[in-house]
Structure 1
Amino acid sequence: MNIALVTGSAGLIGSESVAFFADKFDLVIGIDNNLRQYFFGTDASTEWNRNRLAEAYPNYEHYTADIRKVEELEPIFKKYGTDITLIVHTAAQPSHDWAAREPFTDFSVNATGTLNMLEMTRQNCPEAVFIFTSTNKVYGDNPNYLPLIETETRWEIDENHPYFKNGIDEQMSIDHTKHSLFGASKVAADILVQEYGRYFGMKTGIFRGGCLTGPNHSGAQLHGFLSYLMKCAITGNHYTIFGYKGKQVRDNIHSYDLVNMFWHYYQNPRAGEVYNAGGGRYANCSMLEGIAICEEISGNKMSYSYSETNRIGDHIWYISDLSKFKEHYPGWNWTYDLKQTLVQIHDGMVQRLQLQK
C-alpha cells in the first residue's frame, strides 16, 4: 500500500494536499484537531472542510491527534509503518500576534510538533519524503532593510537591486533580525527539518511560503490575508489596515500551485533542501491593490480604516524568488494568477455563506 500522511489536513494547504494526492495514493491519512478554532475563534473553524474531505474522498481517513503529543502520533505511525511514503506537514500556529499571547502554545505546536513528526518518520518510515511548510517569516524583518521606494499604491524595491527582477532568494540571512515569536518558532522547525535531511540523510524539503491562499482558506483577521479581505468585501465587515500606508506588498500563491510544487519535489527529492514558495513577480499585490480587486470582484465598496501601528516583524515588501525551485524542477509553473485566485475565493465563500443561512 502507498500512503500519504497530511498534518493540518482540514486547513488550506492540508486540504489541498488531500485533494491533490487522493488519486495518486492508495490512502491519504489526515491529522487535524481543529486548533485553528482555538487560535482564531468559531469563524475560523475548519470542521466544514474536514467534513467536505470525508464526503469527497473515499480513501481519506481522518485522525484528530495532537501533533504536540507523541503518544497520539505513535499509534498512527506504527499502524501504517513503511507504507507511508509521503508526509506533508502543514499543521501550525500561523499568526505573529497570536504567538505573543501564548508563547508556550505557539512553540509547542510549531517547533515541538515538527520535531515529533520528524522523529516518528525517522523511527517508522525513514525512506518517506517529508515536506514541511515553513514561512518567509524565517527571514525576520531583514527584507525591510532593502532599498524600498514608495509609489502611489505600493512599496517597491529599487530597480537596480538584484532582487528587483525575481524577488528575494533563499540566501537572505535568517539571523540577526526581529522575527516575532511566531517567526522564531518556525525558524526552529525550519532548521530541524533541514538537519534531519543533512544529518540523518532523510528526504526532507522545506518550502518557505509567501502568502498562501485559495478557496478553502478559513481566513481570520490575524491570519489569511486575501481570504479575510474578500470575506469583509462580501459581508461588509470592517477591515483594518495595519501600518505602512496600506502599501505593503505580498506575493500570493494558490494552494494548488504550492501542492503541485510538493508533487514535483516528491518525485525527485533532495535531502534537506530549502525553497522559497510564493507568487513571485507572477502574483503579488499591496493591501490597497488587494482591496481594489476585492471591490471589483464582489461589486461592493469595502469598509476599512487605517492604523499607524504595524504588526511586529511584518514585511513592507516581500516577493519570493522561485528561480531555484524552477531550475531544479523545470516542469513546474504557476497556473493561477492573482485575480483568478480571488475569483475562486469569492465564489467559494459566497457558496459557504449561503449554506450557513
Structure 2
Amino acid sequence: MNIAVITGSAGLIGSEAVGFFSDKFDLILGVDNDMRQYFFGKNASTDWNRQRLESSYKNYIHHALDIRNQSELDKLFSQYGKDIKLVLHTAAQPSHDWAAKEPFTDFTVNANGTLNMLEMTRKYCDEAVFVFTSTNKVYGDTPNFLPLVELENRWEISEDHAYFKNGIDEHMTIDQSTHSVFGASKVAADILVQEYGRYFGLKTGVFRGGCLTGPNHSGTQLHGFLSYLMKCAITGEHYTIFGYKGKQVRDNIHSYDLINMFWHFYQAPRQGEVYNAGGGRFANCSMKEAILVCEEITGKKMNYSYSENSRVGDHIWYISDLTKFKNHYPGWNYKYDLTTTLEEIFNGLKSRV
C-alpha cells in the first residue's frame, strides 16, 4: 500500500496536496488540529476545509493530532510503518507578529513539531520522501540590504546588479540578520530537515516559500496576504498597509504550482536539498499593485489606509529565483499567474464571506 501523511492537511497547502495526491496514493492520512483558529481566531478556522476534504476524498482519513505530541504521532506512524511513502509537512505557526506574543508556542510548533515528524519518518518509514514547507523568512532581513530603486508603484532591484535579475537564489546567507521569532523557529526546522537528509541519509527536500496562496486559504490580517486582501476588497473591511510606502514586493505562488513542485521532487528525490519556491518573475506584485488588481476584479474601491510601522524583519523586495529547481526538474512549470490566482480567490471567497 502507498500512503501519504500530510500535516496541516486542512490548511492552504495541505488541502491542495490532499486533492493533488488523492489519485496517486492509496491512502491519505491528514494531521491537523485546527491550531490556525487558536492563532488567528474563529474566522481563520480551517474546519470548513476539513469537512470538505472528508466529504470529497474517500481515501482521506483525518487525525486531529498535535504535531508536538510524540506519543500520538508514534501510534499513527507505527500503525502504517513502511507503507508510508511520502511525508509532507506543512503544519506551522506562520505569522511574524503572532510569534512574538507566544515564542514558546511558536518554537515548539515550528521546530519541535518538525523534529517529531523527522524522527517518526526515520523510525518507521526511512525510505519515504520527506517534504518540508519552509519560508523565505529564513533569510531574515538580508534582502533589504540589496541595491533597490524606488519606482512609481514598487521597489525593484537595481539594473546594475544583474545577479539578482531573476530574484534571490539559495546562496543568500541565513545568518547575521533580523528574522523575527517566527523566522528563527523556521530556520531551526529548515536546518533540521537538511540535516536529516545529509546526516541520516533521508530523502528530504526543503522548499523556502514566498507568499503561498490560493482559493482555500483562510486569510487573516496576520497571515495570508492575497486571501485577506481580497476578502477586504469583497466585504469593504478596512485594510492596513504596513510600511515601505505600500511598494513592498512579494512573489506569489499558487498552492497547485507548489504541490506540483513537491510531486516532481517526490518522483526523483534528493537528500537534504533546498529550493526557493515562489512566484518568481512570473507572478509578483507590490501592495499597491495588488490593490489595483483586487479593485479591478471586484469592481469596488478598497477601504485601506497606510501605517509607517513596518513589520520587524519584513521584506521590502522579495522575488524567488527558481533556476535551481527548474534545472533539477525541467518538466515543472507554472500554471497560475497573479490575476488568475486572484480571480480564483475571489470566486472561492464569494461563497464563504
Shared fold by TM > 0.5? yes
Task: Give 1:11-160 correspondences, 5 Å limit.
Answer: 11-160=11-160
Change (3 A) 1:348 1:163: farther
Which residue of the partner structure matches residue 333 of structure 2?
A: 333
SS at match of 1:15: helix
Deviation at 1:163, TM superposition (A): 4.0
User: Take 2:298 and 2:24, find their aligned partners in 1: how far apart are those partners?
Assistant: 36
User: Take 1:61 and 1:213, find their aligned partners in 2: how far apart are those partners?
Assistant: 24
SS at match of 2:162: coil
SS at match of 1:177: coil
Deviation at 1:300, TM superposition (A): 1.1
| Structure 1 residue identity aligned to 2:97 | D
SS at match of 1:36: helix
Which residue of the partner structure matches residue 189 of structure 2?
A: 189
1:275 maps onto 2:281 in alignment: no
Deviation at 1:165, TM superposition (A): 2.2
Per-residue CA distance 1:141-193 (angstroms, 9 max, x = gap):
00000000000000000012134421000000000000000000000000000
Which residue of the partner structure matches residue 299 of structure 1?
A: 299
Tell me the C-alpha RMSD between the 2 structures.
0.5
1:205 maps onto 2:177 in alignment: no
User: Take 1:5 and 1:151, find their aligned partners in 2: how far apart are those partners?
Assistant: 45
User: Take 2:162 and 2:95, find their aligned partners in 1: how far apart are those partners?
Assistant: 30
User: Take 1:235 and 1:143, find their aligned partners in 2: how far apart are those partners?
Assistant: 34
Deviation at 1:321, TM superposition (A): 0.2
| Structure 1 residue identity aligned to 2:280 | G
SS at match of 1:171: coil
Which residue of the partner structure matches residue 248 of structure 2?
A: 248
Query: For the Cα contact (< 8 Å) 2:157–2:165, is it kept in 1?
Result: no
Moved over 3 A (4+): none
Per-residue CA distance 1:82-122 (angstroms, 9 max, x = gap):
00000100000000000000000000000000000000000
SS at match of 1:296: helix
SS at match of 2:351: helix
SS at match of 2:352: helix
User: Take 1:164 and 1:236, find their aligned partners in 2: how far apart are those partners?
Assistant: 37
SS at match of 2:173: coil
Deviation at 1:351, TM superposition (A): 1.5
Which residue of the partner structure matches residue 261 of structure 1?
A: 261
User: Take 2:158 and 2:255, find their aligned partners in 1: how far apart are those partners?
Assistant: 30
Which residue of the partner structure matches residue 219 of structure 2?
A: 219
| Structure 2 residue identity aligned to 1:26 | D
Task: Give 1:1-20 correspondences, 5 Å limit.
Answer: 1-20=1-20
User: Take 1:345 and 1:74, find their aligned partners in 2: how far apart are those partners?
Assistant: 37
User: Take 1:111 and 1:156, find their aligned partners in 2: how far apart are those partners?
Assistant: 33
Deviation at 1:124, TM superposition (A): 0.3
User: Take 2:352 and 2:234, find their aligned partners in 1: how far apart are those partners?
Assistant: 12
| Structure 2 residue identity aligned to 1:16 | E
Flag structure 2 segments of 5+ consecutive residues without an equivalent.
none
SS at match of 2:5: strand
| Structure 1 residue identity aligned to 2:331 | G
SS at match of 1:217: coil
Paired residues, number: 353
User: Take 1:244 and 1:274, find their aligned partners in 2: how far apart are those partners?
Assistant: 29
| Structure 1 residue identity aligned to 2:229 | L
User: Take 1:117 and 1:104, find their aligned partners in 2: how far apart are those partners?
Assistant: 18
TM-score (norm 1): 0.98
User: Take 2:248 and 2:199, find their aligned partners in 1: how far apart are those partners?
Assistant: 38
User: Take 1:305 and 1:222, find their aligned partners in 2: how far apart are those partners?
Assistant: 16
User: Take 1:297 and 1:30, find their aligned partners in 2: how far apart are those partners?
Assistant: 34
Percent identical across equivalent pairs? Answer: 75
TM-score (norm 2): 0.99
Per-residue CA distance 1:312-333 (angstroms, 9 max, x = gap):
0000000000000000000000
